[in-house]
Structure formats: C-alpha cells, structure tokens
C-alpha cells in the first residue's frame, strides 16, 4: 500500500491524482431468496464504503442466484427481487452494480446489471448476448437487450431506463456495464461503452469453471482492458451456485489497460471482496496518446446518468509500483524478455549493415557497462549475417580520465570474445587541442568534452578507413538526462542502446553472462558489472575512478522510475514523487527523492536539443525518446512550473 510521504504535513488525497477504488465482490448466496441475498450484499457494501470504495460490482443475477432456472418465472421471486432492490437503495456506496432479473411491463424478462447510487436505481443494463449452447440455455427465460430502450416507472425505485447504451458518471469515473457472455462476443457491449466514454467497464458474470477456462478468462479480461484503454472489473458467480451440472468458482479480476491489478482465489464458499485502485489519469493519457483508439468510429451517443455524490478520499493507495519498472520481477519472464531485447537490437544493427552495404562495425570499447552491451549486440549482429567476429573493429581510447581497471576490462572483453582490439591513446591529441584553445588546464566542461569529441572523431574516421559504421553505446537514461556530450558520444551511425534504460542494462549483461557467455567471457562481464558507472573524463585518484556518474546526476534507479512514469503515463511531478516515496521507502528519504526529481526535470527539459538530433536506433520497449517517433518536444520548452511543483512538496505554503 502507498501512503503519503511521511514528511508531508498533511495527508494527501490520491483521489486528486486520478485514483478510484473499486471492488469485485461475491456475497454469500442463498438460491431463490432475494431478501437474504440483499441483506448479505448490503452488509458487504456498507463495509466497502468504510474502506473508501467508490464502485462495487456483484455477480450476474446475484439477487436470485444465476442457477435459479425456472424459478425466474415465479412472481414471488420477482417481487422479492423488486423489494430487494428497494433495500439496496440504502447502500452507502457511491455506486454499485448488482445482477437481477427484471420483468418489463410487456411481460418480457431481462437479465440486468442494476446500477444503484444516490439512494436510487440509476438504470438497468440488460444482457445483450444470451448463450444457448452446451450447458447454457438462457433464452428459455430472458430476451436480449440489444436495441432495447424502455422507461420504467416504479413507485419505490423511481423512474429509470432499461437499455444497453447508457453510462453512469461518478466524478471523473464513467462506468459502463456488460454481462458475462457479452465479453465473449466478437464485438462486446463493453467495447462500445468504452468508445462512448466509459473509463471503467464492469462485468457481472456467471462463468462456470472448466479446465483452463480461468486462464482464457483472465487473458480475455486483460486484453479487453488493453484494447479499450479502460479499467475492467469482473466478478463471477460463487461456488454457492447450484452444482447440478456445473461448478462455479467466484472468479474475480480487476484489470487496467492490459495489467491485472488484482485477482482472487476461486472456489471459496465465503463472501469475498477484491479491492484495487484504478488510475483514471493513466487511462486518459493512454487514450489521448493512442490515435487508433481516438479515430475508431464511435457509437451513437449514450444516455448518461450522473451521480451527484463525492467519492471518498484515498489517503492510502492500495496498489504497489515496482522500483524497477523496466525490469520484469519474474525470472522466467525476464529471461524471455532479455532474449527478445538482444534479438531486436542485433536484428536492427544487422539490417542497418545491409542498408549501408558494409560488413564492418566499429565500436569504442571503454570497459564500462554501456559499451559492453553494445559490444555483445554487435557480435550477435555479425553472427546473424554469418560474418566472423573479427569484422568487429573494437577501439579502446584511453585518455586523461581512464583507469587501469576499465582499460583491462576492454582488453579482456575483446580477447575472450575473439575480437581484435586496437588501443589508441588520446592523451597527446587532447593536450594539443586544449593548448590550441589556450585552455587553463582546469578539469572543466571543456576538458571533459575535448576527450569525448576526440574519441568520436577517431571512431568515425576509423569507420571511413575500414568501410564500416560506428555503433553507438549511450543508453536511454543518459539520453533522458542529457548525460552525453553533444556531437560526441551523443552521435553514432546506429545506436543499439538508444531505448535501453540503465537499470535494465545491468540485468541484460548479467543475463548474458549467466546464460550465453563462455566462462572466460562471463568472468569479464561480472567484473564490468562491478565497475562504478563513470564517463572517466576526470583524472583518477590513486588509480581509482574519481568521477562517479550517480554522485553527479543522481541514482539511476530513481531517474528510471521518474522517466517511466513521466513518459509512459504522463504522471504529474506530485504523483511521481508520492509513488517514488512509497516504492523507495527503504532506500531513499523523501527529501532525497524530492531533490533528484527536481534535478530530473531540470535536466530532462533542458537537454532536448541533444535528443532532437539523435542517430537511429532500435526501439525495444514502450518508453523511447526517438525524435522521429516517440518523443517530440521543442528544445526551448519551459519547465519552471514542474520544478516549482516538486520543490513545494515538502514545503507547503505557510498559513496566512
């Protein structure tokens, strides 16, 4: 769970950051007893209201039991259901959805999602697709709600509509509903609801359990939420339904734009509540960014029903955000991801070689992390084109800041990989260049950049000499922070690391050492991983690296976290700060996070000019900074408001 930063003087309301708390709930069921079921549902609903839940969804036909069969024809049960709905209008929840049969004035029976809020029935959404195959025979009792538009006037329930095309608004939460089989249809009512404006779709279901059906159901919910850029609350009938021919498991799922936020354990007889917080701001950002969703033909306008009730504040967020969002936590998933990333990188580089009609690659090998990964990718690209390893021309270019440790790493890498390495010392050329500039010898930006540009000049000219292309090594995190010298390590013919963040870089090299490298190469890779991250542009002290990147720009684990939430979800500085405080509670104090977050925005917003002229490179994940595809912004954009927001987080304005 995420709490407001402990240094803040007042609790923070996560509702203001776009979160809404939802619940998928299965009540204790008595088949055919709507009064008892309403009492159980109402007790659950009131308990959920105390937990800050704004929307609770209960199963299909939960007021009577889905398996009531011909009891649906009983006027006694139908009147009990009506009285049960009257009882549920007392719920303290801002909004709830319950499943119930409803008989229209013309005698037709519909299977409905009854939406309740503001002490009234807001509307009923009838089921569109009635399964009538295998163990299902719903058309025996119900009619489809497709095209239905009925207005019901009830002395106790008020006036409401029975129709599929209606949405229910609660603050910034817009809810659409569908029922069980509707989700399995080629084009579901929930998809139409999402296109009409629903950012949360609830599904009241009674899906029985068969071998592997839960896996299919889970994938269906996840992918539906992904394609609709929506939240999705799915709840199925519990194990207390009749088991005459089938067994129900009470499967509950809550998804958000392709991610399962929460899932319960099935086959439990006790009532269950599955609670999660859906990020509506994230969904809005994704919908705005995805032109396919934006351009998809909308259905005719839906009827909208507004609930004039404030949603409860959320001082504690009931979801977790991983510290390293670019790195899968599951080892098997990461192994598959690592192989795919390396394939994308090496295939992109090999294709670029074909386009350039070259069989040679040139790389600057520093012995550090980034150039090591690029080196491994270059080897794979040559193998993909059936070219020998010695077609990789590796150059190591020691200068004033180079340590013996990284120089040794570079030589060992080349030797163990069967690649020839040429060492070209740049001390003399840099000294001459600085003398030509009448430089005073200070270890300033001129001193540092002279080395970076001298190395780049040598690499490009050497590539001309051998008829090859220069392989870039800079990573996504460095590009975000502008931690690269313009027209030096910022430039290459093709940068294979362009969309690989620093936190992922280390995992990829470690995976390569463990799963693909021979023992001699693996040993070198482990030594590279143990080397402090540094551009090595300042002379070493006592032979050791004196310039450590993270001491200057900040911890990469924080910056990658900031970058992910800033670019992927369009999160505000306040939101990023609070999520980071929770995720890194054991590692960094809020004041430290605040400091580096302000630095992140300063660097990110002022360094776009370096990204505007980036060389091509393969996109490997959902976050990239390519100026040709993923991130376009003016070089001169203002940023003071971003930094001011960050700096105010732990220093609230004084009271008048």
Catalytic residues: 60, 127, 180
Answer whether 139's CB lies under 8 Å from 171's CB. no
Cα→Cα distances 471→392, 495, 522, Å: 10, 6, 22
Give the DSSP letter of residue 17. G
Burial class (CB in 10 A: 0-12, 13-18, 19+), 47: middle
* 529 token code pair: 């991983």
What value, to the nearest 5°, has the Cα angle with vertex 324 and ends 322 and 330? 75
- 87-121 core/surface letters (b: 16 or more CB in 10 A; e: else): ebbebebbbbbbbbbbbeeeebbbbbbbbbbbebb
Helices then strands, each counted (H, E), the chain:
22, 22
Q: How many CB atoms lie within 10 A of CB 651?
A: 11
% helix, strand, coil for the chain, step of 5: 40, 20, 40
Q: How many CB atoms lie within 10 A of CB 155?
A: 6
User: Does residue 464 sit in helix, strand or coil?
Assistant: helix
Answer whether 525's CB lies under 8 Å from 379's CB. no
* 519 token code pair: 């023992």
Neighbouring C-alpha atoms within 13 Å toward the C-beta of 159? 1
Give the DSSP letter of residue 68. G
Gap between the Cα atoms of 104 and 116, Å rounded: 18
Q: What is the DSSP string of 182-196?
A: HHHSSS-HHHHHHHH
Strands 173-179 and 166-170: antiparallel
Answer whether 263's CB lies under 8 Å from 217's CB. no
Contacts of residue 250, defined as CB under 8 A and 6 or more positions apart, other chains included, come to: 26, 59, 235, 236, 237, 238, 239, 264, 266, 267, 268, 272
Q: How many CB atoms lie within 10 A of CB 72?
A: 21
Beta strands in 127-248 (DSSP E): 149-154, 158-163, 166-170, 173-179, 200-205, 231-236
Q: What is the DSSP string of 92-145?
A: -SSEEEEEEEEE-TTS-EEEEEEEEETTEEEEEEE-S----STT--GGGT----
* 475 token code pair: 């990573």
Neighbouring C-alpha atoms within 13 Å toward the C-beta of 16? 9
| Residue length of the chain | 656
Answer whether 56's CB lies under 8 Å from 93's CB. yes
Query: Nearest CA to 109 among 176, 154, 156, 162?
Result: 162
Ranges of H-type helices in 385-501? 404-417, 427-436, 445-466, 476-481
Burial class (CB in 10 A: 0-12, 13-18, 19+), 600: buried
Gap between the Cα atoms of 341 and 125, Å rounded: 45
């Amino acid at each position: 769970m995420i709490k407001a930063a402990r240094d803040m003087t007042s609790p923070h309301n996560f509702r203001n950051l776009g979160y809404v708390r939802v619940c998928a709930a299965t009540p204790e069921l008595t088949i055919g007893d709507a009064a008892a079921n309403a009492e159980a549902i109402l007790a659950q609903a009131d308990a959920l209201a105390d937990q800050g839940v704004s929307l609770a969804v209960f199963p299909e036909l939960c007021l009577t039991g889905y398996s009531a069969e011909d009891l649906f024809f009983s006027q006694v049960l139908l009147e009990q259901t009506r009285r049960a709905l009257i009882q549920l209008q007392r719920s303290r929840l801002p909004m709830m959805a319950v499943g119930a049969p409803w008989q229209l004035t013309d005698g037709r029976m519909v299977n409905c999602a009854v939406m309740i809020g503001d002490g009234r029935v807001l509307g009923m959404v009838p089921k569109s697709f009635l399964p009538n195959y295998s163990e299902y025979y719903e058309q025996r009792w119900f009619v489809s709600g497709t095209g239905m538009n009925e207005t019901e006037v009830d002395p106790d329930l008020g006036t409401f509509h029975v129709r599929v095309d209606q949405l229910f608004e609660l603050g910034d939460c817009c809810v659409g509903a569908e029922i069980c089989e509707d989700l399995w249809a080629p084009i579901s009512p929930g998809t139409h609801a999402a296109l009409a404006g629903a950012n949360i779709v609830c599904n009241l279901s009674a899906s029985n359990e068969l071998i592997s059906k839960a896996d299919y159901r889970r994938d269906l919910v996840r992918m539906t939420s992904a394609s609709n850029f929506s939240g999705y609350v799915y709840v199925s009938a519990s194990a207390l339904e009749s088991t005459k021919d089938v067994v129900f498991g009470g499967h509950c799922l809550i998804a958000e734009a392709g991610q399962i936020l929460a899932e319960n354990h099935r086959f439990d007889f006790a009532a269950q509540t599955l609670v999660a917080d859906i990020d509506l701001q994230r969904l809005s950002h994704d919908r705005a960014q995805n032109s396919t969703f934006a351009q998809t033909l909308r259905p005719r306008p839906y009827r909208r029903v507004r609930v004039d009730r404030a949603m409860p504040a959320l001082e504690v967020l009931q979801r977790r955000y991983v510290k390293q969002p670019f790195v899968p936590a599951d080892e098997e998933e990461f192994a598959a991801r690592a192989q795919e990333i390396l394939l994308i990188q090496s295939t992109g580089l090999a294709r670029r070689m074909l386009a350039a009609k070259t069989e040679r690659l040139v790389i600057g090998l520093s012995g550090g992390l980034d150039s090591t990964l690029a080196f491994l990718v270059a080897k794979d690209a040559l193998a993909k084109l059936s070219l020998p390893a010695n077609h990789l021309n590796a150059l190591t270019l020691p200068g004033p800041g180079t340590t013996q440790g990284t120089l040794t790493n570079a030589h060992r890498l080349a030797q163990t990989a069967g690649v020839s390495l040429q060492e070209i010392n740049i001390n003399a050329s840099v000294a001459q260049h600085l003398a030509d500039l009448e430089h005073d010898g200070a270890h300033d930006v001129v001193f540092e950049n002279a080395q970076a540009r001298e190395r780049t000049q040598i690499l490009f000219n050497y590539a001309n000499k051998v008829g090859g292309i220069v392989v870039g090594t800079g990573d996504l995190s460095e590009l975000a922070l502008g931690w690269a010298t313009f027209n030096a390590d910022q430039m290459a013919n093709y940068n294979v690391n362009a969309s690989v963040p620093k936190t992922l870089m280390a995992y990829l090299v470690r995976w390569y050492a463990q799963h693909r490298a021979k023992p001699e190469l693996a040993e070198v890779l482990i030594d590279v991983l143990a080397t402090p991250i540094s551009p090595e542009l300042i002379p070493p002290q006592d032979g050791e690296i004196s310039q450590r990147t993270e001491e200057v720009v900040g911890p990469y684990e924080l910056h990658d976290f900031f970058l992910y939430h800033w670019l992927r979800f369009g999160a505000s500085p306040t939101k990023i700060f609070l999520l980071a405080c929770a995720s890194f509670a054991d590692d960094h104090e809020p004041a430290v996070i605040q400091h580096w977050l302000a630095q992140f925005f300063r660097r990110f917003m002022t360094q776009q000019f370096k990204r505007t002229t980036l060389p091509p490179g393969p996109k490997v994940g959902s976050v990239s900074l390519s100026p040709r595809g993923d991130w376009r912004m003016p070089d001169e954009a203002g940023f003071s408001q971003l930094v001011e927001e960050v700096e105010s987080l732990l220093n609230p304005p004084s009271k008048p």
